[in-house]
Amino acid sequence: DAGVIQSPRHEVTEMGQEVTLRCKPISGHNSLFWYRQTMMRGLELLIYFNNNVPIDDSGMPEDRFSAKMPNASFSTLKIQPSEPRDSAVYFCASGRRLGNTGELFFGEGSRLTVL
Amino acid sequence: GQQVMQIPQYQHVQEGEDFTTYCNSSTTLSNIQWYKQRPGGHPVFLIQLVKSGEVKKQKRLTFQFGEAKKNSSLHITATQTTDVGTYFCALGGYNKLIFGAGTRLAVHP
């Protein structure tokens, strides 16, 4: 069974460019999460979806960030325009969560560097 | 909002020594999860604790949930170099999971 698949694994871009990160969750999972990890701020929850519906996006830093989940097998996180402070590892995770229980399965992450 | 403090931030031990990391919450928890992240890797689920005072073991790892369900600990007996990584506790809110800052463990052979 394939795990959570993220692409690209690495991206280097220049300030002002648009960045799109992609995630394919594990089939059958009903929840999908986007996290950002930096040395300074640790693992931050950006947004999560339940049954393809965004439930809480209060962790999204600002309007430059947007996330979509058009169907149960695909999600995107977009940054437009990107800034150097957006440099981080972005993780997508999915789970078969019922209420507040259930483990999360993480993808290998997308390492973003904005110059 | 819900806050979690995890200590210590960093610990280095000699191989064979024990290691413990603690997670404390400002509010009563419904459950808590623990994850391990190897250097350069992604977080991997270890365990979930739900019941007050619960103790679970996985080989050399012992997980505890406090009686008041406000704190938890992970104890590793006789560390090995394979235990290197960052250990995170994660608080389960409804349909979301908030991670602590993590404890980074270094093991010297």
Kindly report, residue by residue over B18-47, the tens digit of the pLDDT: 999 999 998 898 899 999 999 999 999 999
Which carries the bigger pLDDT value, residue B16 or residue A56? Answer: B16
Q: Do B94 and A100 touch (CB under 8 A)?
A: yes
The pLDDT assigned to B3 comes to 76
The alpha carbon of residue A110 is apart from the nearest alpha carbon of chain B, in Å, by 10
The alpha carbon of residue B13 is apart from the nearest alpha carbon of chain A, in Å, by 22
**Are the C-beta atoms of residues B101 and B9 closer than 8 Å to each other?**
yes
Check if A34 contacts B (Cβ < 8 Å). Answer: no
The pLDDT assigned to B82 comes to 97
pLDDT, chain A, mean:
94
The count of residues in chain A is: 115
Question: What's chain B's Rg over C-alpha atoms?
Answer: 13
**Are the C-beta atoms of residues B109 and B15 closer than 8 Å to each other?**
yes
Q: Do A48 and B33 touch (CB under 8 A)?
A: no
What is the C-alpha to C-alpha distance for residues B25 and B14, in angstroms, rounded to an integer? 29
User: In chain A, which residues have their Cβ closer than 8 Å to the Cβ of B41?
Assistant: 108
What is the C-alpha to C-alpha distance for residues A8 and A73, in angstroms, rounded to an integer? 17
Portion 68-87 of B in contact with A at CB < 8 A: none
pLDDT, chain B, mean:
94
Confidence band, pLDDT 50/70/90 cuts, at residue B2: low
The pLDDT assigned to A61 comes to 86
Q: How many CA atoms lie within 13 A of A20 on its CB side?
A: 6
Q: How does pLDDT run across B41-65, given as a tens digit for each residue? A: 999 999 999 999 999 999 999 999 9
Q: How does pLDDT run across A21-74, given as a tens digit for each residue? A: 999 999 999 999 999 999 999 999 999 999 999 998 989 988 999 999 999 999
**Are the C-beta atoms of residues B106 and B79 closer than 8 Å to each other?**
no
Average pLDDT over residues A4-18: 98
The pLDDT assigned to B65 comes to 97
The pLDDT assigned to B64 comes to 98
